[in-house]
Amino acid sequence: MLNTMGIIFAGNEELRMGELTRARSLAAMPVAGRYRLIDFILSSMVNSGITNIGLTTKFNFQSLLDHLGGGTEWDLSRKKYGLFILPPFYKSENRITESGESKIQSLYNVLHYIRRGKQDYCMLAEGNAVINTTFDEMLDFHRENHSDITVMYSKNADATASQDGCFDVAADNRIKDISPNNTQNAAKSVGFCIIDTDLLITLVESCYARGEYDFSKDIIGKNLTKLRIFGYEFNGYYRHIYDIQSYYRFSMELLNRDVRDTLFENEKKIYTKIKDMVPARYQSNAKVSNSFIADGCIIDGEVNNSVLFRAVEVRKGSKINNCIIMQNGKVLENSVLNAVIMDKNVVIGSGKTLVSEPTFPIVIGKNRVI
């Protein structure tokens, strides 16, 4: 899949994530004990042989920059192409951001980058998808159908997660219409599409000039008869993270072996930044079950149905149930937690009780001491 470049929309900032994305972009959200959300789509692209990848960014992408560095850990520190972080562009005269809110505006701002690539195809992807796949077959499909735009869809997908809506897909796989029919069995966009690079440039320029900023409506919808636009069905596991519920739900799904195996016990690896960590340490009073535990943890309490990120400490007498505890979280002695999401560096003192239901997890912001 060497003839394809990747563009990842990593500028999304989801207000529905609340405090968790206040100081980081959604793509930099910590997930699954040691990863960041961006790792999934980035690794899927790398594992597909895409070596020219641009990330559009908007606000507060410091943590994204720190995480990705020069791209070495994703094998993207390459001589030719590699990983490009594309900050927003400002017209210097009036200091106004042109990056805007929409995919089309983002694409317009990185046209210089798209033009520099020599790849015939461009893969557009959301930065907030949890997936481990390769796109080789989708590209074959795109070529075989002489498709102009191929959109990946799923019938299983979580409907609310779809950012580009639902489609009517005909038997020949052509997309007939954009459908308001967001039902269980509808073909929902997974948020990835392959498009011929030259066509993308033309479409973005023309939409931008006319102030048409809705990718789904203005690029897909308006061109359904003029262009060959196909749907490519994806049957595997994927999740979009777009609010606290979807984040919590996905984290709890990691306790299913199938989900873990699909994502991680795969020839295709999910790459991430490597940090030096001591192995997890279980003390004499540790009682841990059905939990996903990262290195550096020190556990002397009880942990059930939970995800513990790196260097989390759970002291003696504490009971953790249905929780997500991010890096450097500390739960001192004799506290009881149920359905709590702790952002990085949160400390829960001894003898505290924080209990909710999995349908309504408690969120504790970064660096808080409770």
Partner 1 sequence: MAKECIAMLLAGGQGSRLGVLTKGVAKPAVQFGAKYRIIDFVLTNCAHSGIDTVGVLTQYKPLLLNTYIGSGKSWDLDRLNGGVYVLPPYMQETSGEWYKGTANAIYQNMEFIEQFDPEYVLVLSGDHIYKMNYAKMLDYHIDKNADVTIAYINVPIKEASRFGILQIDGEGKIIEFNEKPKVPKSDCASMGIYIFNWRELRKQLIRDEADQSSSNDFGKNVIPSMLGQGKALYGYGFSGYWKDVGTVESLYDANMDLLDSGEIGLYDADWQIFSRSPLRPPHFLDRNASVTDSYVTEGCYIDGKVAHSIISDGVVIAKNAAVKDSIIMTDCKIGENAVVNKAIIASGTVIARGATIGTNCDATPQYRSNYCTGGITLIGENLTIGEGVEVGCNCMVTSDIKEEK
What is the contact surface with partner 1 in residues (CB under 8 A)?
2, 32-34, 73-75, 77-80, 255, 257, 260, 263-264, 269-272, 274, 276-295, 307-308
Pairing of strands 319-321, 149-154: unpaired
Amino acid at 252: M
Q: According to the binding rule CB under 8 A, does residue 365 interact with a copy of itself?
A: no
Q: What is the largest CA-CA distance in the chain?
A: 68
Give the DSSP letter of residue 93.
T
Q: What gap in Å lies between CA 317 and CA 188, rounded to an integer?
A: 46
Output 95 or 210, the one with its CB closest to a copy of itself: 95
Judged by beta carbon distances under 5 to 8 A according to partner kind, the member of partner 1, a copy of itself, none in contact with residue 229 is none
Please, what is the minimum distance in Å from the beta carbon of residue 76 to partner 1? 9
Q: What gap in Å lies between CA 21 and CA 312, rounded to an integer?
A: 21
Q: What's the token pair of residue 244?
A: 């606290």
The answer for 29, left when phi > 0, alpha when psi is -120 to 50, beta otherwise, is beta
Output 114 or 190, the one with its CB closest to a copy of itself: 114
Please, what is the minimum distance in Å from the beta carbon of residue 6 to a copy of itself? 17
Within 45-104, which residues bind a copy of itself (CB under 8 A)? 59-62, 65-66, 69-72, 77, 79, 84-87, 89-90, 92, 95, 97
Q: According to the binding rule CB under 8 A, does residue 369 interact with a copy of itself?
A: no
Closest of 274, 244, 261 to residue 359, by C-alpha: 244
Please, what is the minimum distance in Å from the beta carbon of residue 154 to a copy of itself? 30
Amino acid at 355: V
How many chain residues interact with a copy of itself (CB under 8 A)? Answer: 25
Judged by beta carbon distances under 5 to 8 A according to partner kind, the member of a copy of itself, partner 1, none in contact with residue 212 is none
What value does the CA radius of gyration of the chain take, rounded to a whole number of Å? 22
Within 273-302, which residues bind a copy of itself (CB under 8 A)? 276
C-alpha 21, offset from chain centre: 13
Please, what is the minimum distance in Å from the beta carbon of residue 19 to partner 1? 24
Q: What's the token pair of residue 54?
A: 């641009």
Q: What's the token pair of residue 280?
A: 């997890």
Please, what is the minimum distance in Å from the beta carbon of residue 53 to partner 1? 15
Please, what is the minimum distance in Å from the beta carbon of residue 30 to a copy of itself? 17
Kindly give, in sequence order, each residue whose CB lies less than 8 Å from that of residue 257, ignoring residues fewer than 6 positions away: none
Q: What gap in Å lies between CA 11 and CA 85, rounded to an integer?
A: 11
Please, what is the minimum distance in Å from the beta carbon of residue 63 to a copy of itself? 10
Output 95 or 226, the one with its CB closest to a copy of itself: 95
Q: What gap in Å lies between CA 186 and CA 165, rounded to an integer?
A: 10
Output 51 or 105, the one with its CB closest to partner 1: 51
**Which residues form the interface with a copy of itself (CB under 8 A)?**
13, 15, 22, 59-62, 65-66, 69-72, 77, 79, 84-87, 89-90, 92, 95, 97, 276
